[in-house]
């Protein structure tokens, strides 16, 4: 048995429980930060690229 537990080795019931907790947290994030934009696959393909240094500047957000 592995000495560390991760999403690939934990029992499926535990994984399901944790996924349910994550979904609750995602709902909370959506409520705390209204107006977040979700891009579709098509939207991601046509979205503009980061400008020089922009990606690095956004890491801290």
pTM above 0.85, yes or no: no
Spatial separation of the C-alpha atoms in residues 5 and 24, rounded to whole Å:
22
Q: Looking up tokens 């907790």, which residue turns up?
A: 21
Return the pLDDT at 6: 92
Residue 1: per-residue pLDDT: 53
Q: Is the pLDDT reported for residue 58 higher than 70?
A: yes
The residues, any chain, with a CB within 8 Å of residue 36's CB and separated by 6 or more, are: 29, 30
pLDDT, tens only, 1-55: 557 889 999 999 999 999 999 999 999 999 999 888 777 888 777 777 767 777 7
Give the distance, in angstroms, between the CA of residue 13 and the centroid of all CA atoms in the same chain. 21
Question: CA angle 19-25-50, nearest 5°?
Answer: 100
């Amino acid at each position: 048995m592995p000495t560390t537990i991760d999403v690939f080795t934990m029992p499926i019931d535990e994984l399901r429980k944790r996924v349910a907790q994550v979904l609750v947290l995602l709902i909370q994030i959506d409520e705390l930060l209204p107006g977040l934009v979700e891009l579709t696959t098509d939207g991601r393909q046509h979205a503009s690229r980061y400008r020089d240094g922009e990606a690095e500047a956004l890491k801290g957000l």
